[in-house]
């Protein structure tokens, strides 16, 4: 992209407020189901309806999930938590307030490192993560005379991850979002599904001249629900703000809507019109104390994070970053790998097989590794047979593994033997094959003896055919060279 002279003078500055819907079974303050996609108002009770006298009761799982993501984002965990009421009036908020955490969020001061397309990494500060409940949904387009309200979503647990204004481009914003999505899935905190709204964000955007320390006035674009919308909104706002400032105008701090169809933003309200939420501590909910023991237990149960897994795989098996990412980002593949690992003699072979031929095979059949009938231990056995030169890799993959799938016989080595797939150890037999082939090519044998070593491949290929592929190519080479001396 070539920037106009004005655009090249400015840099984009952005911080995101990322809402993540937690994948708990029940809502944050009631036993109502938190699942997506039910019939309207199917998952509600007195609490979701805010009937007088209905009292909230905290779902402990919500705290545990928030801590997990907080730890993954290198945050400090606040062990004393309060809930606050954020007061506003709207039809899909029957209580007249949303329960949230105002100035004592559960996680603070973290950071996340994201990878950019050019291979560099960027560190983005996490200001805080707080807990809150979602509101219901107003539906305005189903009836001309009425608006409808669906309260299934009311009370579904959310965390809001607030970053520092460290983002400098749309690319960094999408890299951050995909990293967060990857982490919440890896930690089983959320399904991270942007289409269904489980992951959505508000983007705060300002500009400043390159070299300037001070931040410019920001605008906040609300409710961006796809990676693409985030990028489009950011680029649009950047260009718009540069234009305003270049023309001598001023940016007014405001909240903006995003129009996905046109890729544009439009004003919703300015700071002067902003709601006064009159936050105060919710008297219905006691402070939540996270004990040292509980925190320690959650810490001890944290899985290794994808970035850590990548680093370990790269250093231990010297595989490429891209290959390491395949394992780090695919829990099922990683599980398979870990289950096979103890049984495999050469660990590097296991990574090679899974990245190479097995991945190709699964792709071709369009199946996931969890649906692959070869057990990890059977895979390890097959790999060991190849590494021990008992069977060729080609026969193992093309004949042995399919036979294992079909026969349901657990012992891979036994099956290979029964099916006569093992490399022939019968040197006499090989010897006779070699004689036969060399007899077929008297001219080529002469040529070889005169120094035309290239014909060796022809001999090896033909002997291999006679041996039905069941020969170790290297050994065969040696035997033939010996014979030709
Ligand atoms: P508030 O309390 O008014 O919501 P915060 O300080 O919590 O403001 O910031 C909200 C979000 O706005 C954060 O993600 C932060 O990184 C971002 N932000 C703050 N200042 C700027 C700025 N000048 N330009 C872009 N983003 C900003
Ligand atoms: Mg804010």
Q: Quote the ligand 2 centre to 17 CA distance (angstroms).
A: 7
Q: Give distance in angstroms: CA of 346 to centre of ligand 1.
A: 51
Which tokens is 433 given? 């094959």
For residue 218, pLDDT over 80 is answered with yes
What's the pLDDT score for residue 5? 63
User: For residue 485, what are its two tokens?
Assistant: 């001396």
Mean pLDDT for the chain overall: 92
What CATH number matches the domain at 427-484, 3.30.450.20, 1.10.10.410, 1.20.120.450, 3.90.180.10?
A: 1.10.10.410
Per-residue pLDDT, averaged over 340-362, amounts to 93
User: Which residue's alpha carbon is nearest to atom 6 within ligand 1?
Assistant: 164
pLDDT, tens digit, 9 for 90 and up, residues 169-194: 999 999 999 999 999 999 999 999 99
> Residue 127 above 50 pLDDT?
yes
The pLDDT of residue 1 = 43
Q: Under DSSP, is residue 344 helix (H, G, I), strand (E, B) or coil?
A: coil
Ligand 1 nearest atom to the CA of residue 206, by list position = 24
The residue among 150, 202, 144, 208 whose CA lies nearest residue 173 is: 202
Q: How far is the CA of 209 from the centre of ligand 2 (A)?
A: 24
State the SS3 of 27-56: CCCCCCECCCCCCCCCCCCHHHHCCCCCCC
Q: What is the pLDDT of residue 189?
A: 96
Ligand 1 atom at shortest distance from the alpha carbon of 164: 16
The domain spans of the chain are 7-294, 304-418, 427-484
Q: Which residues pair with 354 in a beta bridge?
A: none
- Ligand 1 pocket test, pick from 162, 219, 274 with the greatest ligand atom count within 8 Å of Cβ, gives 162
The stretch 246-261 carries a mean pLDDT of 93
127: left (phi over 0), alpha (psi -120 to 50) or beta: alpha
What is the enclosing helix (H) or strand (E) of 264?
Answer: strand 264-270
pLDDT top residue among 429 and 59: 59
How many angstroms separate the CA atoms of 255 and 263, rounded? 16
Assign 3-class secondary structure to 117-177: CCCCEEEEEEEEEEEEECCCEEECCCCCCCCEEECCCCCCEEEEEEECCCECCHHHHHHHH
Q: Which residues contact 441 (CB under 8 A, 6 or more apart)?
A: 455, 458, 459
pLDDT of res. 4: 55
CA distance 300 to 402: 40
21 pLDDT above the threshold of 70: yes
Residue 204 CA, closest ligand 1 atom number = 26
Which protein residues are within 6 Å of ligand 1, measured from CB? 13-17, 162-165, 204-206, 215-216, 218
Cα separation, 68 vs 303, in Å, equals 10
Answer yes or no: are the C-beta atoms of 186 and 71 closer than 8 Å. Answer: no
Q: Which atom of ligand 1 is nearest to the CA of 216?
A: 23
Quick one: tokens of 20? 């993540």
CA of residue 175 to ligand 2 center, whole Å: 21
pLDDT band at 431 (very low <50, low <70, confident <90, very high): confident
pLDDT at 88 over 70: yes
Cα dihedral 21/24/25/30 (nearest 10): -80
Alpha carbon distance 400, 421 (integer Å): 7
Span from the CA of 203 to the centroid of ligand 1 (angstroms): 9
Could you tell me which residues come within 8 angstroms of residue 320 by beta carbon, excluding any fewer than 6 positions away? 314
The closest of 187, 176, 246, 178 to 14, measured between CA atoms, is: 176
Give the pLDDT band (50/70/90) at residue 23.
very high
Structure-token pair, residue 95: 């209580």
- Which ligand 1 atom is at minimum distance from the Cα of 166? 16
Mean pLDDT of 277-303: 96
pLDDT at 158 over 80: yes
**DSSP classification of residue 271:** G
The position carrying tokens 């919703």 is 268
Instruction: Give me the mean pLDDT over the 406-416 stretch.
Output: 84
The full DSSP string for 386-454 is HHTTSS-HHHIIIIIHHHHHHH--S-HHHHHHHTT-SPP--HHHHHHHHHHHHHH-HHHHHHHHTT-GG
Residue 112: the pLDDT is: 97
Tokens for 96, please give them: 């007249």
Q: 68-84 pLDDT, tens per residue? A: 999 999 999 999 999 99
Q: How far apart are CA 403 and CA 391, in angstroms?
A: 14
Residue 351 CA to ligand 2 center (angstroms) comes to 45
Lowest-confidence range among 45-54, 269-278, 445-454?
Answer: 269-278
Average pLDDT estimate for 357-382: 93
């Amino acid at each position: 992209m070539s920037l106009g002279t004005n655009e090249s003078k400015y840099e984009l500055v952005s911080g995101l407020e990322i809402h993540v819907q937690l994948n708990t079974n029940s809502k944050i303050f009631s036993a109502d189901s938190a699942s997506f996609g039910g019939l309207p108002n199917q998952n509600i009770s007195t609490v979701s309806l805010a009937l007088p006298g209905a009292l909230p009761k905290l779902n402990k799982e919500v705290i545990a999930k928030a801590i997990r993501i907080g730890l993954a984002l290198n945050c400090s965990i606040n062990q004393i938590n309060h809930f606050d009421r954020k007061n506003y009036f709207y039809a899909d908020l029957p209580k007249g307030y949303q329960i949230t955490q105002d100035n004592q969020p559960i996680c603070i001061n973290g950071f996340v490192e994201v990878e950019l397309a050019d291979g560099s990494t960027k560190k983005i500060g996490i200001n805080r993560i707080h807990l809150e409940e979602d509101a219901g949904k107003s539906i305005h387009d189903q009836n001309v005379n009425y608006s409808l309200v669906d309260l299934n979503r009311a009370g579904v647990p959310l965390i809001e991850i607030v970053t520092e204004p460290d983002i400098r481009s749309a690319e960094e914003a999408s890299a951050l979002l995909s990293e967060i999505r990857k982490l919440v899935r890896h930690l089983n905190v959320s399904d991270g599904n942007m289409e269904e709204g489980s992951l959505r964000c508000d983007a705060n955007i300002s500009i400043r001249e390159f070299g300037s320390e001070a931040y410019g006035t920001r605008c906040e674009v609300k409710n961006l629900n796809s990676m693409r919308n985030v990028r489009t909104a950011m680029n649009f706002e950047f260009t718009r703000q540069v234009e305003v400032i270049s023309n001598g105008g001023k940016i007014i701090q405001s909240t903006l809507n995003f129009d996905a169809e046109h890729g544009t933003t439009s004003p919703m309200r300015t700071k002067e019109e902003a709601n006064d939420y009159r936050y105060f501590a919710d008297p219905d909910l006691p402070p939540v104390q996270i004990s040292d023991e509980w925190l320690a237990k959650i810490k001890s149960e944290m899985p290794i994070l994808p970035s850590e897994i990548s680093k370990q795989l790269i250093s231990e098996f010297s595989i490429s970053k891209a290959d390491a990412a395949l394992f780090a980002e695919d829990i099922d593949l990683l599980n398979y790998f870990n289950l096979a690992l103890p049984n495999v003699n050469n660990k590097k072979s296991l990574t090679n097989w899974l990245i190479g031929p097995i991945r190709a095979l699964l792709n071709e059949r369009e199946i996931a590794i969890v649906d692959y009938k070869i057990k990890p231990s059977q895979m390890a056995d097959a790999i060991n047979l190849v590494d021990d030169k008992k069977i060729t890799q080609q026969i193992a993959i093309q004949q042995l593994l399919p036979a294992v799938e079909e026969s349901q016989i657990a012992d891979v080595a036994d099956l290979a033997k029964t099916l006569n797939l093992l490399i022939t150890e019968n040197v006499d037999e090989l010897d006779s094959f070699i004689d036969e082939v060399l007899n077929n090519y008297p001219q080529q044998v002469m040529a070889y003896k005169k120094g035309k070593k290239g014909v060796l491949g022809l001999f090896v290929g033909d002997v291999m055919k006679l041996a039905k592929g069941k020969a170790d190519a290297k050994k065969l080479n040696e035997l033939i060279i010996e014979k030709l001396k």
